[in-house]
Each structure stands twice: as structure tokens, then as C-alpha cells.
Amino acid sequence: MIRINLLPIEYQAKSRRIPMPNKVSIIIYGAVIAMIAAGSVGYLRQSTALSELQLRRDIAAQEETRLAAQSRAIEKMEMRAAMLGDRIRLIENLQGQRFENVSWLNAVNRVLPTQLWMVQATRNMAGGHTTVEGVAEGYQPIAKLMEAMGGDRALFICTAHAGPKAGGRQNGSNPLHGGRGLD
């Protein structure tokens, strides 16, 4: 069947053709599409990087709180260790001086004769000198003390006062001396 269009040109059906763009418009459209694609890719990468960064920050914050608690515990342990070390050094110092003091008292006991009563005894740890103050029943106990010191005169500096028996003590009873049984 043959179709004839009798309508004027204004009313005639127009063909539905899409005009083909020229080269310049194709380049412009391609550039716009490429820019949109590049922007989308950049946005996706940046959002991924930001989410990873936020995740790392959260992990770092959790790690920091965990390490802070551990560091406080370590500081407490170090303080306790230092205190225990000080205690150990004190005990070792006391242990070391305990036998030294006993031997010093034994040496003082060996040198003190009967009829000489010790009132005060001091010891100079740095110089190694011992000062003994006491009361004697005459000068003979002082002479015996000087004789007993012999070559150790550098160790003892004596200040003894001769006079009557101190405090009504019985014939040679010395509460600090106690005889020669401590050797």
C-alpha cells in the first residue's frame, strides 16, 4: 500500500532522527564524562581512606587506653620494687652492722677491767674511734684499762673519773661488763 501525505508541510509528521554531534561536541561531552568519572573515583577513594583513617584512630585510642593502664601498673610495680630494694638494702646494712656491733661490744668488754663501770660508750664509724666514759674505784682500774689497750690505743679514747663506787654497786659488779664470759 502506498501512502500519500496530503497534509501541508507544517502538519506533516517529522522524522525522528537524532542529529549526530560533531567532533568538538563529542570531545566536550567525553571530557565532562571523564571529569565526572574521575571525581566519583576520587570521592570513593577519599571516603574509603577517611573511613580507614577513622578506624585506625579508634584502634590507636583503644591501644592508648590499654597501654596507659599497663604503664600505670608498671609504674606502681617499679615504685614497689624500689621500696622493696630500699628495705633489702636497709636489712643488709643492719645485718652487716649487727655482727660488727657485737664484736665491737666484745672488744670493749675485753678491755674494761673490773672496778671500772661504763657510763657511756660511743663509736665513731668513720674514724674507727671508741669513746668510753665511766667511773672507777681508783686509778688502778684506769691503769689496767690502759695496759689492756696495749697497741690498740688508737681505737679507744678513755675519759674515766676516779671516785667512790657508783650507785652502791657491790664489789666489782658491772652490769655492762659482766666478766670475761662474752668472748
pLDDT at residue 163 greater than cutoff 70: no
Q: Tell me: the pLDDT tens digits for 56-76?
A: 999 999 999 999 999 999 999
The pLDDT assigned to 141 comes to 82
Domain borders along the chain are 22-107, 112-168
What is the strand order of the sheet 116-124 is part of?
Answer: 116-124, 129-136, 156-162
The pLDDT assigned to 151 comes to 53
The pLDDT assigned to 177 comes to 42
Average pLDDT over residues 39-55: 96
Q: Return d(Cα 118, Cα 156) in angstroms, integer.
A: 13
Q: Tell me: the pLDDT tens digits for 108-145?
A: 778 788 888 888 888 776 666 777 788 888 788 878 88
Average pLDDT over residues 36-64: 96
Angle, vertex CA 23, rays to CA 20 and CA 24, nearest 5: 115
Rounded to two decimals, the pTM is: 0.34
**Cβ distance 91 to 149 under 8 Å?**
no
Q: Return d(Cα 160, Cα 84) in angstroms, integer.
A: 45
Helix (H) or strand (E) holding 94: helix 23-111
The pLDDT assigned to 169 comes to 43
Average pLDDT, whole number, for the chain? 78
